[in-house]
Structure 1
Amino acid sequence: MGQNRCTKRKHKVITACKNCRNRKVKCDGSLPCFSCLQRHITCTYMIKGDEGKLSFYKQDDHILEQIKILKKSIDILEKLKLSVVTSSEYATNAIADINRQLETLLSFQHVNINSESVRTYKDNGALENQLLGGNYVAFDAFSTFENVSKGKAVDVIFGLYSPISVMSPKGICWLIQQLIVKSREKDTEETVYILLKFLDAGSSSYKWELIAPVYRLQFILIEFFGCKVPFTRNQTLKEAIDAIPPSLRSELKEEGGNSIQDSRKLFMYCVKLLGKHFTSSRHLLRNINIFEHFFQVEELLSTLCYTLLENSLNFRLLDAEFLHDLLCFVKQRHWKDNSFIIGGVIAPLCRQVQDLGLSRWEYYLGMNEEHANHLREIWWDTYWWDKWYVVVTGKLPMIDSSTVTCLLPQQIMRLGVDDAMSSWQMLERVDFTYGSLKDHIMFGYIVLSISINDVFSNVLYNRKFTDYRMFSGITALDFKVVEELLTRINGIRKGFTVLKTTVVHELEKSLLDDDVFRFCIHFAYSRISCLKAIGNLLMRFKSIFHGTSSNLISDQIGEYDKDILQTTVETFTFILRANDNIKIKEHVRPISEMGLNILLEAVKAPAGIDVYHISLFCGVASLFDRITCSENGAEKQYNHPGRIVLMEITCIFIFVRVCCLVYRQYKKVSKEELMAILTDFDHTTARFCNETLDIRSDLFQHIIRDKNKSDYHRDIIHGIEKVLGRDIITTIESCEREVLSSDEYRQAQYMGNVATKDLDYLRYFLNLDIFPELNTDDELWDDLKEIDKYYCSSV
């Protein structure tokens, strides 16, 4: 009994200030606490492990003085309320008003950093670590105390709110670990091996994207079009123009087509050719034999555009026509190129339209209405692409929406809405009986842009919910902040639901329209990315609250996960209804990223996995199957011009394999029994599932059979170095020297396959400190080497 009482007492005063702990009285955990205010003494807290860290914060004496006055006023009014009946209503209102002021002041009680402490700070660690007081803050589901407190807690590529954090080094570590911990059977080992080879191939594709555009263009001309080296820049451009198929050039007037000196004019010409290339080749894309040629021409044109942009995006103001072509280029390439590469086009585009004054109504005065409306359309298109970049990367918006006063395009205003309305008001008042389908789609993008801005500007990057002082531990965080955050988030969730029922359902009536299909994918992807980002923010609060509060936050995160999964299921159903494998080829990346949600459902909670979701995933993935069946693409994966698209499709196949594998293992059903279950949904689904579970299938051969360009050790480990620091690489290199000098390694050299080395690199990868719960043994690696030996003999 005595021991329990001591434990209870310790729990009650664990967040108490020093004075209350010494006096053994109840403390409210605020700074300053009410007890210290009453006694007019300085209120300080003890930081566990290092009391000195408190000195980095300096209390604002002016605010503290106002807090004292308000506290005294409340005491007086409380007594007045009890003694004078007639004044009770006045006293109640006054107390409520003072409490509101008090909450505002308390939120600013640590506005100052102690400059004296900063002047004397000489530690090698970042000052931000000191300001957090050594506290653990979870930035996503894969954060651990070790990777937050040591090294870089947030990766530059997979930042605070990246929708694909599962594919970060931390996420990949987690995925491999989950697979091996759940089962050690042969299918699991084969899956790990396929994932390893995918990472190898993916690192090589990423490396290709980092090459300067002019050098990529030279490589394409040499490799695919038989041109000779060396080239000057102008020679390279001339060769590229000459390599464009004459049949494609003949479909457009060649104004500027041969003007190498005028980069802008030539860029605008190539953008038109790029758009024409897709539309004119669309009916031929169902023929596998022309895929490689299609990708060759597409990559030639897109790389030529990037090369020309290096000279075009300078410090001069751009004209509206060029801005329009920039927007067309972004629309054509946004899902096909690396997000940060296409972001290099979006960023100056956002800057230019603001410099031209398109965001302000004043600049339109005196213009011809037709020209003014065209500029408004350019502005709102740019506004959308800024928000698209935000949801894809999780970064800050480049356009400050609070400064925007541009009118909506005239045809959108005719629908009954205007720029002063919130997204809720627009959705309530829009009238789709007016306007064309194009107008309705434009309205959808405007409302979606405003909704995305509400999420990122008003919640995710709002200082009220993200200030480091809240997570420093110097005072107890008031749960009212979380309650306000949850209120805002629930409003955002409802807003996306209304947008779905109002706009998306209306547009889905024109399912066959390409722009409708594109908008529906954009909506689903944006909704999912916003909900994932909100979940990451809530993770921070969950890591500092305990008990009932923590459970409430966990429940909310669970609700958002359900919304994410439901949106994914609805989108996959929509894609299968459209049943157009040409349309989805333009959207490989968002589909693969949405597939991550079904994979997470399978891996995180296999007990609740729905086989119907797996059947949908298999059905969508089977639409991509035909691309990888091309023999030329399989043999020349790294030289294949559509290798980036090919890698994203392969990623989808691997996700499907993982889902089927986890379901089969958890439900304890054989492969044949799983096929029988899926056959009830669709024969094609069952067949494709069976194909993904067979490591010998053509789906994975283009990554497994490659023997020459595995960059796993050089590129992927280098990526880990960026996150975890150089010490990790030193450890890996030490382990590598031991392996290379061992007799076992020498005996394995007769295989002559780079993939054999990959197995050793994977061993290093899995034995890093980021795998604390994983206990690997030699049996796994022996089995994997047998797999590798089989493929060495069959290639």
Structure 2
Amino acid sequence: MAAKRGLAKQKSRVTKACDRCHRKKIKCNSKKPCFGCIGSQSKCTYRNQFREPIEVFFNYTGSLSNDLDNAKCSIAKLKAQLPPSAPASLQKGLANICTELEKINPQLYLNLDSKEISSYGGLKSIETEIIGKQSKSLNRFSNAFESNTAQNVSMYFGVYSPLLYFASTGISWITKKLISCSNDRETRETIYLFLKFLDASSASHAGPKVTSISPLEYYSKLNGLSCGNDVLIQHIMSNISNEIKGNTNINQTIKFNKPTDWFMYGVQLMEQHHKALDRKSSKKLLPLKYFLEQDELIFCLCLEYFERSLFSTMYDLTILKGLVSLMKHRYWIDDPFLLGRIISTMSRRSLDAGLNRWEYYIGQDEDTAEEYRKLWWDCYWWDRWYSLVTGKQPLIPHEMTSCLFPKDVVGLGVDDSMDCFTLINLVELDPSKFDICISFGYILLTKIITAVFSGLLYNRHFTDYRLFATPNAKDLNGTARQLMVEFSKICKIFQCIQDKLIPFLKQYSENSNVFELYTHFGFAKVCCFQGMESLILRIQNLLQERERIEFDSCVKDIRLQTFEASVDILTDVLKHEDTFYIFRCSWFIYAILMNITLNFIETPRRNSICYLSLMCRMIASYNDLFVSSGNVNFKGNNAFSKKLENGTAVSFILTRICCQMYTRSQKMAKESLFCELKKYGQACSDAGQAALDIECIWYRNIIGEHKESSFRKEILSILDREMGDLVNNRVIGVQGKNQEGACYEKLSPSSTSVSVGMDFCSLENFVTAESLPDLLNLFWEDTEFGITKENLGE
């Protein structure tokens, strides 16, 4: 078979020289370690080392590939022999048959060899052995490295997560780019800050988490309490504001006879609490710290009774309504893992109740049926939203969904049988019906996410492991063409949205609910295009060089659209000029800032100062939220405030990278940059200066008090493995080693222009030394700097 012949060629390609000798183009004796690496005390590694042939895992007994070729040739001959008088329908029918045959990929029908699989005794997983070197091509960043080392897919980040930029491969890619661009002091400082941020953010996750222990245990550990559950609940209730409890009407709806009653009481408290945040007149009177503390108390109460009611009242839809309300109020605050527990329960219960099928609505009164329709589409939306923010496959199968739209939505001229194009073209948006239009918007967004995730990202035709285990260009060309067809459809859908729906949302963006829907659409576009880019890169990597070139323009277009969508959404969030709303957008802002940063890294000369001003304005807003208003204590225990603090720190680092890339590409002095930024406001210029100032409070807060994290170790390992001497010479360096391991030598700090108002010895040694891994290990000692809000760099 063609696939087997391709594999035979692949397994015979063995590199004779080690990686270092091959890169330096010097003679190598092909030993391990080779004489060159022994002399330089470098790590000796080989790419494309001999592997057991992966075809042993498959049973090559069929001849589907040859049969397909014969069928295509026969039809081609038949078409050529047709007389001119042959009916056009016959010609069209033969052409359609050829098209359908092209879609069949014989690799998808290979069977595993049961004897080989059952007798496998290797150390690595069977999947690792089957995929081989193709595992390095799972996304944009893993594909950037050249080794055959398998890249693990993190359970947290997933395959298509928009936060892949913050995974080890993403940060390693950024660090690699920075090292390659420059070796000056400021670049080293930036890399140091990035590595220290990883340690700091890892340390912030070391405490108790509500995702790993029961809600009450989490609350007791967080507050240093040791008592029974009932006493803890009384403690929580006593700390919830009397104003919130007093404004919650519970007389008729809740009887407190079972856990569900307490859960719904907590939900009502949450709804009442968030109403205060939604009222613009109250925002100045409602400190963020107070809001978050109260919100954490109420949410802990909700989670406790949510867990108690999991295995009771299975078909009581009251709790399902409460979970939907909880998601609406907490989706921008909580960790995706925690929200996933809620969403999985919502999805399963809604399916068990039959809300997804029209058959279950027969015999119900219309008011109840309409309430359940709305409840179903809400559950469906949150299931798709979770897929969007995690990059993981949806729980609810779209092919099993057959539920009418709410009748008010149908009144806009649409129904559930329509595809995305038809929905966009036929909907009659009415400004007088904001709530109904918003409901339609979320339903449309649900269908778009379904089209991307089910039609592309998790479509077996494009993602089956057999494609990557047995790469063969002849069989994959049809798959690649079909992928491009499906990708073009998605692009057209988003263009239709941009032409019709987005102008409507922007026109009425003063309405907070409309603007919230607008941000969901913008972030959905960014996530969908990022996911499609990863998938296209995976398929592209399997093709021959000539076919790969055709994909290059597509990848460039995806990145451009992702960047433009990121700029648009960031611009409109900043136009809102509402600090409280900006912090509500923090759940996606960090991914947006990372997108813009990547564009500055890859194409620095094409970027305008206005893009940089957006970054500066955003970090100025976060800085104002934390420092100027005194809302949140840095040492607070609230999980969301810690997430905001870490997010603000990394936002400053990303802005610093953009400033450095821009000044280098424009050959501009920092003073000139600050003058340019001042045209967009003094706060913008001040933020730019703070981002480039190593003594900025957001850097002081992460530099000295966190020990080495496994995350940082992994990144340094990747860089050392992939960049070798480039890293050693420019940033990491290699010290002499004794028999036990590394020999560390403490270097005294050089005289610099940096003020030593705080202990910068670790930083100073880092940016002036020739040996970095040793120094990194030497200086991870806890140091308390006594940071205060007044220490922010002017």
Whether the 8 Å contact between 1:264 and 1:312 is mirrored in structure 2 is yes
| Matched letter for residue 746 of structure 2 | E
- 1:529 pairs with 2:527: yes
Deviations 1:492-527 (A, max 9, x none): 011012123222221222222121121111111111
CA distance in 2, matches of 1:743, 1:72: 72
The one of 539, 542, 551 equivalent to 2:540 is 542
Deviations 1:68-108 (A, max 9, x none): 87368448737855xx7766979856754653464355536
- The residue aligned with 1:507 is 505
Alpha-carbon distance in structure 2 between the residues aligned to 1:691 and 1:146: 33
- Match for residue 366 of structure 1 among 363, 366, 372: 363
CA separation in 1, counterparts of 2:73 and 2:491? Answer: 41
Structure 1: state its 5+ residue gaps: 1-12, 19-46, 223-228, 726-731, 764-774
- Does the residue aligned with 2:287 lie in a helix, a strand or coil? helix
Query: Which stretch of the first structure deviates more once superposed, 637-646 or 558-567?
Result: 637-646
Alignment map for 1:673-752 (pairs within 5 Å): 673-704=672-703, 707=705, 710-713=706-709, 717=713, 742=744, 744=746
Q: Where do 1:138-217 residues align within 5 Å?
A: 138-144=137-143, 149-208=148-207, 209=209, 210-212=211-213, 213-217=215-219
How far off is 1:591 after superposition? 1.2
Change in CA separation of 1:368 and 1:109 when aligned onto 2, cut-off 3 Å: closer
Corresponding residue number in structure 2 for 1:606: 604
User: Does 1:555 find its partner at 2:553?
Assistant: yes
Which whole-Å CA distance do the structure 2 matches of 1:304 and 1:147 have between them?
50
Indicate the residue corresponding to 2:495 in structure 1. Answer: 497
Partner of 2:245: 249
Whether contact under 8 Å (2:579, 2:625) holds in the other structure is no
The answer for the alignment partner of 1:637 in structure 2 is 635
Q: For residue 24 of structure 1, what is the aligned residue in structure 2?
A: none
Residues 359 and 405 in structure 1, CA contact (< 8 A), matched pair in contact too: yes
Q: Give me the whole-angstrom Cα distance separating, in 2, the residues matched to 1:233 and 1:758.
A: 47
User: Contact 1:407–1:418 (CA<8 Å) still a contact in 2?
Assistant: yes
Q: Deviations over 1:424-462 (max 9, x none)?
A: 111111112386101101101100110010000011111
**Residue 280 of structure 1 pairs with residue 279 of structure 2:** no
CA distance in 1, matches of 2:685, 2:229: 52
| Alpha-carbon distance between aligned partners in 2 of 1:314 and 1:759, rounded to the nearest angstrom | 58
- Distance in 1 between the 2:718 and 2:311 partners? 31
1:54 matched residue in structure 2: 55
Deviation digits for residues 141-194 of structure 1 (CA, Å, limit 9, x no counterpart): 221597984354322222211111110012122223322332333332332333
Match of 1:580 in 2: 578
What is the CA-CA distance between 1:551 and the residue it aligns to? 1.7
1:262 aligns with 2:254: no
Residues in 2 aligned to 1:140 and 1:461: alpha-carbon distance in whole angstroms: 14
- Give the deviation of 1:694 after TM superposition: 1.7
Give the whole-Å Cα distance in 2 for the aligned partners of 1:499 and 1:402.
Answer: 24
Alignment partners' CA distance in 2, 1:230 and 1:572: 45
Quick check: 1:629–1:699 contact (8 Å CA) kept in 2?
no
Match of 1:566 in 2: 564
Given that residues 63 and 105 in structure 1 are in contact (C-alpha distance below 8 angstroms), is that contact kept between their aligned partners in structure 2?
Answer: no
**In 2 relative to 1, CA 255–664 (structure 1 residues): closer, same or farther, beyond 3 Å?**
farther
Quote the residue 1:27 is aligned against. Answer: none
Report if aligned partners of 2:160, 2:534 keep a CA contact under 8 Å in 1: yes
What pairs with 1:583-598 in structure 2 (closer than 5 Å)? 583-598=581-596
Amino acid at match of 2:657: V
- What TM-score comes out, normalization by structure 2 length? 0.81
The equivalent of 1:292 in structure 2 is 289
Q: Rate the CA distance shift 1:744–1:266 in 2: closer, same or farther, 3 A.
A: same
Tell me, in whole angstroms, the C-alpha distance in 1 between the residues paired with 2:779 and 2:103: 66
Matched position secondary structure for 1:54: helix
* Distance in 1 of aligned mates of 2:720 and 2:670: 39
Letter matched to residue 233 of structure 2:
L
Query: Are the equivalent residues in 2 in contact too, given 1:203–1:716 (CA < 8 A)?
Result: no
Cα deviation, residue 662, structure 1 = 1.8
Measured in 2, the distance between the counterparts of 1:687 and 1:143 equals: 36
- Output one character per residue of 1:652-671: Cα deviation in whole Å (capped at 9) or x when no partner: 22222221122123322121
Q: Which amino acid aligns with 1:377?
A: K
C-alpha contact (below 8 Å) 1:756/1:788 kept by paired residues = no
Instruction: Pick closer, same or farther for the CA change 1:633–1:712 going to 2, 3 Å.
Output: farther
Q: Which moved more, 1:656-665 or 1:471-480?
A: 471-480
Letter in 2 for 1:118: I
Query: 2: CA distance between counterparts of 1:509 and 1:85?
Result: 57
- Cα distance in 1 for residues equivalent to 2:66 and 2:6: 23
Tell me how far 1:736 sits from its aligned partner. 13
Structure 1 partner of 2:125: 126
| Worse-superposed segment, 61-70 or 383-392 | 61-70
Whether 1:520 aligns to 2:518 is: yes
Distance in 2 of aligned mates of 1:738 and 1:340: 41
Q: CA RMSD in A?
A: 4.2
Shift in CA distance, 102/522, structure 1 to aligned 2, threshold 3 Å: closer
* Secondary structure, aligned partner of 1:744: coil
Aligned residue identity for 1:448: L
Q: Is the 8 A contact 2:190 2:657 kept in 1?
A: yes
Report the secondary structure of 2:510's partner residue. Answer: coil
1:638–1:74 distance in 2 versus 1, CA, 3 Å = same
Q: Which residue of 2 aligns with 1:415?
A: 412
Q: Distance in 2 between matches of 1:550 and 1:308?
A: 54
> Which residue of the partner structure matches residue 239 of structure 1?
235
Match of 1:587, as an amino acid?
C
Q: Which secondary structure does the structure 2 equivalent of 1:436 belong to?
A: helix
Are the aligned partners of 1:637 and 1:702 in contact in 2 as well (CA < 8 Å)? no
Name the CA distance, whole Å, in 2 between partners of 1:96 and 1:634: 67
Query: Helix, strand or coil: the match of 1:207?
Result: coil
1:777 aligns with 2:777: no
Counterpart of 2:366, as a letter, is E
The percent of aligned pairs where both chains have the same amino acid is 24
Alignment of 1:1-40 (within 5 A): none
Q: Which amino acid aligns with 1:552?
A: E
**Structure 1 SS opposite 2:172:** helix
Pairs aligned (count):
723
Note if 1:405 corresponds to 2:402. yes
Q: Secondary structure at the match of 1:158?
A: coil
Could you tell me how far apart the structure 1 residues matched to 2:334 and 2:421 are? Answer: 33
Tell me what 2:26 maps to: none
